[in-house]
Amino acid sequence: MQLVCSARCGSQLFRALFAEVDLDAVGNYQDHRLQQPGYVCLNCGAPAFDLGEVPDQMDADAAEDDPPEIVADILCPVCETLVQVRGELECPNCGAPLEVA
């Protein structure tokens, strides 16, 4: 975890917003759980971000941006060969351009 203030105030103190804290009968801390990520800077009150999650989020965003691969069996209009098209739009037999509808 690497928390950073969104206002870049340089603070090193943050508060978890959606945390559950377990206490014993006399009020001593036992354990905690974060229900969902959310942090606030204790210096200026701005939202804080966990920079440790950035690489994983970038990978997830890149996976969403990749178009799904189109797979289709079509008949080449030039050589009449049955071709399974996977993104390449040329017949592997004769090189004619193929169109996937």
Mean pLDDT of 23-43: 86
pLDDT at 17: 87
Q: What is the pTM of this model?
A: 0.48
- Which one, of 35, 5, 82, 58, lies nearest residue 98 by Cα? 82
- Which one, of 53, 15, 17, lies nearest residue 35 by Cα? 17
Domain count, the chain: 2
For residues 43 and 80, state if they share a domain.
no
pLDDT at 101: 60
Residue 30 has pLDDT above 70, yes or no: yes
For residues 60 and 79, state if they share a domain.
no
For residues 16 and 47, state if they share a domain.
yes
For residues 23 and 61, state if they share a domain.
yes
pLDDT at 44: 92
Chain centroid offset of residue 17 CA: 22
Look up tokens 């739009």; give the residue: 89
* Tens digits of residue pLDDT in 49-86: 888 888 888 888 887 777 666 677 888 888 888 888 77
Look up tokens 């340089």; give the residue: 10
- Structural domain boundaries, residue 79: 67-101
